[in-house]
């Protein structure tokens, strides 16, 4: 049987197996999807073993290995080259790596809300945040302010710029049209939540719980939930492996809703 896995250092609770095994059953594909947890010090040895297994046909790569996996690939798509991160692998005669996080996030943005000319606050600048920043830039979003705990160089810009300190986030809340949280915590203080207008669109890439501490703080605002990005980044992975895009139907949504608390 052909095997597919999500690989990371803490993936036992990942919903990727639920999503892909549902699609395998729906489309009568003889394959299985599981998870493999690898400790940092063993990554090179363990991932080589997984890739060399003849039954392994594809992988999803998650935290913290999206950059480390690159040296184990033969071909990269243009997006993973620019983002310098890979989250999906096709194993054949050559090992192809692609990045679908950027597309997953863009396709989770609501089509009925015009935010292109609004100010976007991107909180955190790890691998997923860089993929989000990349797609916002190539799709023509101009007003993006990035905050991070440590000072980091901002990619995809012609001029050299650095992230702003998280300590200054409060000062920008009043001008926001979209706030994207890519960190595991809520970094907006309760005493400052009144600065966020009820018309601001809120987004969190963490998918469990559905209502993260950040989203829960603003019950009246419209939201983009983390599960949306997970689903939309999975679709092009499936297409890379099998040649067509799977559909996200109501049955799958209901299954995932039950698993997300």
User: Per-residue DSSP letters for the chain?
Assistant: -EEEEEEESS-TT-SHHHHHHHHHHHTT--EEEEEEE--GGGHHHHHHHHHHSTTEEEEEE-TT-TTGGGGG-SEE-HHHHHHT---EEEESSSEEEE--HHHHHHTTS-TTS--TTSEEEEE--SHHHHHHHHHHHHTT---EEEEESS--BPSS-SS--BPEEGGGGGGGGGGEEEEEE-SSS--S-GGGGGGS-TT-EEEE---SSSS-HHHHT-TTS-EE-HHHHHHHHHHHHHHHHHSSPPP--HHHHHHHHHH--
pLDDT greater than 90 at residue 261: no
Query: What residues are annotated to the active site?
Result: 66
Q: Which CATH number fits domain 2-99+228-259: 3.40.50.10860, 2.40.10.10, 3.40.1160.10, 3.30.1540.20?
A: 3.40.50.10860
Residues of the chain with CATH 3.40.50.10860: 2-99+228-259
The pLDDT of residue 98: 98
Check: pTM over 0.75? Answer yes or no: yes
Please report which confidence band the pLDDT of residue 254 belongs to, taking 50, 70 and 90 as the band edges: very high
pLDDT tens digits for range 93-102: 999 999 999 9
The pLDDT of residue 199: 95
Residues of the chain with CATH 3.40.50.720: 111-221
What is the CATH number that goes with domain 111-221? Answer: 3.40.50.720
């Amino acid at each position: 049987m052909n095997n597919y896995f999500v690989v990371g250092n803490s993936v036992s609770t990942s919903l990727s197996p639920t999503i892909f095994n549902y699609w395998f059953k729906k489309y009568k594909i003889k394959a299985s999807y599981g998870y493999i947890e690898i400790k940092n010090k063993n990554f090179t040895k363990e991932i080589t073993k997984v890739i060399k297994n003849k039954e392994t046909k594809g992988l999803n790569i998650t935290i913290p290995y999206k950059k480390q996996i690159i040296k184990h690939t033969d071909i990269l798509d243009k997006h993973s080259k620019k983002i310098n991160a890979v989250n999906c692998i096709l194993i054949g005669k050559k090992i192809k790596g692609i990045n679908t996080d950027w597309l997953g996030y863009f396709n989770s943005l609501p089509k009925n809300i015009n935010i292109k000319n609004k100010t976007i606050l991107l909180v955190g600048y790890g691998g997923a945040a860089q993929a989000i920043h990349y797609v916002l830039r190539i799709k023509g979003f101009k007003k993006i302010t990035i905050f991070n705990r440590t000072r980091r160089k901002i990619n995809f810009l012609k001029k050299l710029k650095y992230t702003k300190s998280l300590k200054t986030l409060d000062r920008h809340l009043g001008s926001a049209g979209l706030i994207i949280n890519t960190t595991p915590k809520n970094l907006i203080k309760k005493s400052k939540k009144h600065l966020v207008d009820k018309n601001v669109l809120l987004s969190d890439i963490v998918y469990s719980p559905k209502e993260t501490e950040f989203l829960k703080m603003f019950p009246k605002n419209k939201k983009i939930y983390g599960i949306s990005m997970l689903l939309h980044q999975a679709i092009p992975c499936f297409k890379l492996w099998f040649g067509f895009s799977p559909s996200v139907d109501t049955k799958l949504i209901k299954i995932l809703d039950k698993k997300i608390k």
